[in-house]
Amino acid sequence: MKRLNAPKKSFRKDVSQATRHVAELDIQEVSPETLTELLGLPGMRVNHIAIECVVIEEEKTEYVHLFCEHTRNIAVCPRCGKVAQSGYDANERSVRHLDILGKRTVLHYKQRRFECRMCKQPFGENLDWIDQKRRQTLSFEYHIYECIKNKKMPRKHVALEEGLSETTVLDIFNKYAQEETGSLQRKGIRALGVDEIHLGNQEYALVLSDLDRNCVIAILPDRLKATLERWLAEELTKKERNAIKIVSMDMWRPYRQAAHKMLPQAEIVADRFHVMKQLNHQLDLLRRSLRKNGSEIVKALLKNSRWILLKNRDNLTAKQEAKLLLILATSNEIRVLYLLKERFRIICNKIKNKKQTERFLKAWLWEAKASRDSYLNRFTKTLQNWWNEFLNYFNEGITQGFVEGINRAIRGIMNRAFGYHVFENFRLQILVECGDT
C-alpha cells in the first residue's frame, strides 16, 4: 500500500486538508490483507471477522472477533536455536488486542507446539507480539500501562473502561513498571533529598530524591534510621556514596545520624522551608493560646487571622494588612513574635552569603532570647541544635521545594487509588510517575 512520504504542513496541522492530497494516494479496495497490515501482528493473517453485540448490565458492548492464521510453518527452538518445521500440536487461543473502530477486539488463533529434531524435545512457539501465558497482546498491555502512567487514570477506571478485572490491570501495570524501573541506570547523585510522607495510621514512607535531576530515586517502607542506612549501604556502591556531596533533610535527627555515619563527606543541609515552618508553628501556637485565653478584644481580632499572620507580609492584601496592624497594636506578644518572624524571613531571603548570614542570625538570636518569649525560646533551641546544617543552606541555596511538590503528587496518587494496601504497588506507582523513567 503506497504512503505519502512527505505530507504537506497544512495536512499535519488540519487533517481536513487531506482531501487535497487524495489524488496522490494509491487507493485500493479493502481486503483481508489490508486488515492484516492494519492489525500489525507479524506472522499472522486475518482470514475471518465477526462482530458481536453483548449486553452487560443493560449496556451494549460491541466486540470485533478476528480469526487469524499463521503465515509461517517454522519456529526456532529456544534451547538450541535450530529451526523446527511443522508443529505437531495446536490449541485454540483467544486474546485481547487494541480496539478497532471503537470496538473491543479479540484475536483467535492457534497456539502451536513444535518438536526440535536436534533436542528431541517439544517446545511452545514464541510469538513477537504476545508474551508466553499472557491473555493480551503486547500492544494492548502497553496501552493499559500508558493509561495509568501518562493519563493518570485509576486502575479501577481503566478496568471498567476496558472490560478487564482490576487484578489483570494491576498485573499488567506491575509487569511494565518493574521492567521500566529495573532497567534504570542509576546516575551519579550529588544532592540527595531525604523526606518522609505520612501514609496514615502513624505509618510513614521515606522518599529519596535526586535534587539536581528533580526525580525520585527510591521509596523506603519506613523512616527508621536503620532503613536509610541499609539502603545507602546495599543499594549504592562506595563510589556512588562518595559522590554525594549534599544531603538535604527536614529536622529529623535519625536522618542526620544516618547521613553522618554513611556519608561523612557530605554536607548536611537543614531545609530552609522546614526551619521557617517551625517558626510559623510557634507563632500559630501563640495565636491559638490567645484565641482561647486572651481578652475579648484580642479574641475578636484573632478570629480568622491564621493566614494573615503566617503569610509573607509582602503578599498581604490591603484589607489583610489593615487587620494585621490592628492585631499588632492590640497584642504585644503577637507583635514581638510576628516582627521577629518577618525579620528572620527577610534575612533568609535577602542574604546569600553564609558568613554574612551567620552574623545577622546571631544578632537575631540574641534579640529573640532577650524577648524571653517561651514560644520563641522553643524555636531558638531547635535552631541552635541545627545551626551548622541550617547555615549550610546559604552555600548553594539547596532546598526541598521539589520534594514538597513530590509529596503533593504522591498524595494525589494515593487519593486516586483510594490508598494502597501493598507497599510494592505503591512504590512502583511513585517510581513510574515521579522517577527518572
Lowest mean pLDDT among 110-114, 191-195, 307-311, 340-344: 110-114
User: Which residues have a Cβ under 8 Å from the Cβ of 253 and sit 6 or more positions away?
Assistant: none
The alpha carbon of 39 is separated from its chain's Cα centroid by a whole number of angstroms, namely 33
CB neighbour list of residue 19: distance below 8 Å, 6 or more residues apart: none
Looking at residues 305-313, what average pLDDT do you find?
A: 93
Taking the whole predicted model, whether its pTM rises above 0.75 is answered as yes
24-53 residues labelled b (16+ CB within 10 A) or e (exposed): eeeeeeeeeeeebeebebebbbbeeeeeee
The pLDDT value recorded for residue 2 is: 40
The pairing of strands 103-115 and 59-70 is: parallel
Q: In this predicted structure, what is the pLDDT of residue 27?
A: 57
**Mean pLDDT score, 226-233:** 96
pLDDT class for 74, splitting at 50, 70, 90?
Answer: confident
* DSSP character string of 288-331: HHHHHHS-HHHHHHHTT-HHHHHS-GGG--HHHHHHHHHHHHH-
* Angle at alpha carbon of residue 100, lines to 97 and 102, rounded to 5°: 115
The predicted pLDDT at position 289 comes to 94
- The candidate with the shortest Cα–Cα distance to 250, out of 215, 199, 209, 296, is 209
Give 191-271+400-434's CATH code, choosing from 3.30.420.10, 3.40.50.12780, 3.60.21.10, 3.30.2290.10: 3.30.420.10
Sign of the Cα pseudo-torsion (270, 274, 275, 278, in order): negative
Contact 100, 64 (CB under 8 A): yes
Residue range(s) in the chain whose domain bears CATH number 3.30.420.10: 191-271+400-434
| Per-residue confidence band for 13, with pLDDT thresholds at 50, 70 and 90 | very low
Phi/psi of residue 133, nearest 5 degrees: 65, 25
